[in-house]
Amino acid sequence: MPNRPKQEALVEGRRDASAHGPAHHEGRREAGTPGPGLAASRSGDDTSLVGDDQVLDDARTAGSEVRYLNAQSSLLRFNERVLEEAIDATHPILEQVKFLAISHSNLDEFYEIHVSGLQNQREGTQIGTAGLLPDGSTPTEALELLIQELDGLLAKQEACWDELRLGLAAQGIHVLDLASLGDEQRQFVAAYFRREVFPVLTPLAVDPGHPFPHISHRSLSLMVALDHPKFGARFARVKVPNNLPRLVQVPVDDDDDAIHAPGEHRPIAFVWLEDVISSNLDALFPDVPVRACYPFRVTRDVDQDIRERDSDKLMDTVRDSLRERAWGAVVRLEIDPSMPGDLRSRLLQELDAETAIADVRPLPLGRSALFELVQVDRPDLKHAPFTPRVPAVLAPGESVFDAIRGRDILLHHPYDSFGPIVQLIEAAADDPDVLAIKQTLYRVGRRSPIIAALVRARRNGKQVAVLVELKARGDEESNIEWAETLEREGVHVAHGIVGLKTHCKATLVVRREGDGIRRYVHLATGNYNAATARLYTDFGYLTARPEFGEDMTNLFNSLTGYSRKERYNRILVSPGGWRRRLVELIDREMSHHARGEPGLIRIKVNGLTDTRLADLLYRASSAGVKVDLLVRGMCCLRPGVPGLSDNIRVVSLVGRFLEHSRVFHFRNGGDDEIYLGSADLMPRNLDRRIEAVFPVPDDGWRRDVMDCLDLWMRDTARLRELRPDGTYRRVRTGSPPGMPVEAQEVLIAKARAGG
């Protein structure tokens, strides 16, 4: 493989100050004003800066660089672990391709959120952010570190694609360059261009009469250099359409010795859409000689604050913010290595991208499009499918209300089907005894059976109240559409509490029964999204316990009205309640340990970046409490530091499914307590979101969750352990050679067996 040019250094220069405040998502700056229980200071933010001079001095002398890992660097390490799965040949090759595509998509998000956030902080565009990051570094130092780490990660991505492309070819799936096409294939490409592509394209000239066009976020474009017969050297931009397949299938000659497939499988071949366009540019510029064509790709800062100036017009505010987001500053410009330097400079100037990372990248750009290869019909090159288990009491035809009334039910998706949750809402919509349905919706997807059931419930005369979180990043437009759909049907739609995102996953069904009113509750760690429920691991809990029903009534009164209840019977609500209870639970483990009962804390979350919680866990470790943390992504806590975190182990599990559930286990002197919920251990979840965490009161289900924790922690196939220096190592011990424990596969086998 040829040497890959490194990312060019950050170009120092002017960048217009943002008019908006800070916002975080997955470590981002978060929108809004402090709500109940929020401190006005933002010094505990995931990537926020400490503004007070004395605090800065204290951070330096206390050795923040020893106590905490850099959050953004930690997130890059997560993407390294995703990429390792793409490299791991124990996966079928199309699953490897999927992991590679995910790693490219993750990096796009990393640039548009985390790199842009550090750039803004470095350049002082956010009020009160001058100072140090929680790990003791400055924004400039953090950016320099990330540039180095990104360069190595990008090189691994390219080497991985080179290997996978060869491996795919050996299996009869060929991704070809134009130069390798035969005459018939070239004729096909030309015909495809004329029929499918040419009508969609809009060439945009750049000259005094044609200003440089707006380049949209994540768009792939061609910079076309022309020799105009009258005006001389000119150039134009052609956008590669994002509504056409990026990989174009071309016919394959069975007699072609260079293209083959093993066994009974016919070979298939693809070319990149931008190559199809570049080979037919004469049709776009007739009688104007095309001198050269250079692909480039833009990543913009999408971390724009959604300003909640007037809660009565929040939907309009979100729409306005989405339009502004399209004009976010350019964070990264990916460039064809063959693009001349003067044209690169011109492009950076036209994009007002003096502070952007100019990233010279071998073609093709935008490789998250490799997801399209995963759709190839080759089941022999993918994981064997499995059908999620449906508990017998929730089988079709059974009464979901009878089942829940008989006993609490724990569902573990995707091993357990998401169908019973849809079944509950559909049954409630049609049951004449159901009086009301209340639900929170964060991400529901484009085609939602949940929405259809809620609409039907309203048409059937039920009281239906839904909290649709309009500020769910990436789903804002979809959620606006769902909110409008529900409002048109007469559903009571709330848009959230000003200053707080509503992230909890909750449903309440109120039903009239022979012995009075009964409330049925569903609480979960994941969204009401049937599609992601097949890909993400999450827990859902169904119960008719009166104390849960009362709690949910009070929670929805808070979400839709002016109630500010902070203490509940069983559930713990952020902001305020969950952080307080966490402190109590950790302190209790230390007290048990001091009395001779071994202290044990086990936590599974997606991210741990709250330094106050990290400090409390350090204190528990110093007191002798064993702390096992399963943290999928960002983790600022540094384990295994003598005298600080000797008793803390941090691991991460990356496998076939995205680990998304949040689980909290406290040994409690042998009377174990298990909590599930929607909250990670991040400042946004603890202080700036509405989250719901709930105990598992049923002894059997509590034991099942603890068994899952045991299984995850002894995985020897996909588990990585965090070292004190911030790097991860694979956990390959604890099983006989050749007999690894792969937690997700064990749970799949259990689901297949009906266990």
At the topology level, CATH places domain 173-304+333-378 in polyphosphate kinase like (3.30.1840)
Summary mean pLDDT of the chain: 87
Identify the residue with better confidence: 53 or 69.
69
Amino acid of residue 327: W
- What DSSP line would sit under 431-461, residue for residue? -TTEEEEEEEES---SS-HHHHHHHHHHHTT
Query: SS3 for 42?
Result: coil
Mean pLDDT of 517-538: 97
DSSP string, 181-192: --HHHHHHHHHH
Neighbours of 203 (CB within 10 A): 14
Q: Give the start-to-end residue ranges of the domains of the chain.
A: 173-304+333-378, 392-565, 573-752
**Structure confidence at residue 193 as a pLDDT band (50, 70, 90):** very high
Query: Does residue 310 surpass a pLDDT of 60?
Result: no
Question: 463: part of which helix (H) or strand (E)?
Answer: strand 463-468
Sheet holding 268-272, edge to edge: 173-175, 268-272, 247-250
Q: What is the arithmetic mean of pLDDT over 460-481?
A: 89
- Taking domain 392-565, whether its CATH number is 3.40.50.720 is answered by no
Give the pLDDT score at 258.
65
Q: What is the pLDDT of residues 80-120, one digit of tens each?
A: 999 999 999 999 999 999 999 999 999 999 999 999 989 88
Closest CA to 676 of 503, 565, 540: 540
Work out the number of other CB atoms within 10 angstroms of the CB of residue 626.
Answer: 17
Q: What is the pLDDT of residue 316?
A: 78
**449 contacts 530 by C-beta, under 8 angstroms:** yes
* CA dihedral for 381, 656, 538, 38, sign (positive or negative): negative
The model's confidence at residue 556, banded by pLDDT at 50, 70 and 90, is: very high
Number of Cβ atoms within 10 Å of the Cβ of 577? 21
Element (H, E) at 143: helix 139-170
Among candidate residues 191, 283, 197, the one with its CA nearest the CA of residue 245: 197
pLDDT digits (tens, 9 = 90+) for 365-422: 999 999 999 999 999 999 999 999 999 999 888 899 999 999 999 999 999 999 999 9
Q: What is the DSSP string of 371-406?
A: HHHHTSS-GGGSPPP-PPB--GGGSTTS-HHHHHHH
Residue 180, both tokens: 């390798």
Q: Is residue 662 scored above 70 in pLDDT?
A: yes
pLDDT digits (tens, 9 = 90+) for 612-624: 999 999 999 999 9
Report pLDDT for 260: 67
Q: Is the pLDDT of residue 321 over 80?
A: no
Give the per-residue pLDDT at 65.
67
3-state class (DSSP) for residue 620: helix
Residue the block writes with tokens 């001779």:
596
Lowest model confidence (mean pLDDT) among 37-46, 488-497, 505-514, 607-616: 37-46
d(CA 532, CA 446): 11
Please determine, for residue 124, whether its predicted confidence score (pLDDT) is greater than 80: no
Residue 609's pLDDT is what?
A: 97
**Tokens 């006005």 identify what position?**
40
Q: With cut-offs at 50, 70 and 90, classify the pLDDT of residue 746.
A: very high
Q: Which has the closest alpha carbon to 695: 665, 722, 717, 719?
A: 665
Output the pLDDT for position 5. Answer: 41
Bridge partners for 539 per DSSP: 412
pLDDT confidence of 53, banded at 50, 70, 90? very low
Which of the residues 91, 412, 503, 593 is marked catalytic? 503
| Range of lowest pLDDT (115-124, 388-397, 545-554, 669-678) | 115-124
Poorest-pLDDT segment among 56-70, 83-97, 182-196, 364-378: 56-70
Burial per residue of 278-314, b for 16 or more beta-carbon CB atoms within 10 angstroms, e otherwise: bbbbeebbeebeeebbbbbbbbbbbbbbbbbeeeeeb
**pLDDT at residue number 58:** 37
pLDDT given at position 311: 44
Report the pLDDT value the prediction gives residue 305, as an integer from 0 to 100: 59
Domains 173-304+333-378 and 573-752 share a fold: no
CB 492 within 8 A of CB 464: yes
In angstroms, what CA-CA distances link 265 with 98, 172, 262, 381, 686?
21, 8, 6, 11, 53
Confidence of residue 229 (pLDDT cuts 50, 70, 90): confident
pLDDT at 42 (0 to 100): 28
Q: What is the CATH number of domain 573-752?
A: 3.30.870.10
Specify the pLDDT at position 496.
76
The per-residue pLDDT for range 633-642, each reduced to its tens digit, is 999 999 999 9
> Would you give the DSSP letter of residue 365?
P
Q: Rounded to whole angstroms, how far apart are CA atoms 433 and 424?
A: 14
- For residue 630, pLDDT over 80 is answered with yes
* Catalytic site includes residue 24: no
3-state secondary structure of 510: strand
Residue 364: is the preceding peptide bond cis (ω within 30°)?
A: yes
Segment 171-192 shows an average pLDDT of 95
Pair of tokens at residue 611? 């330094």
Q: What pLDDT is attached to residue 8?
A: 41
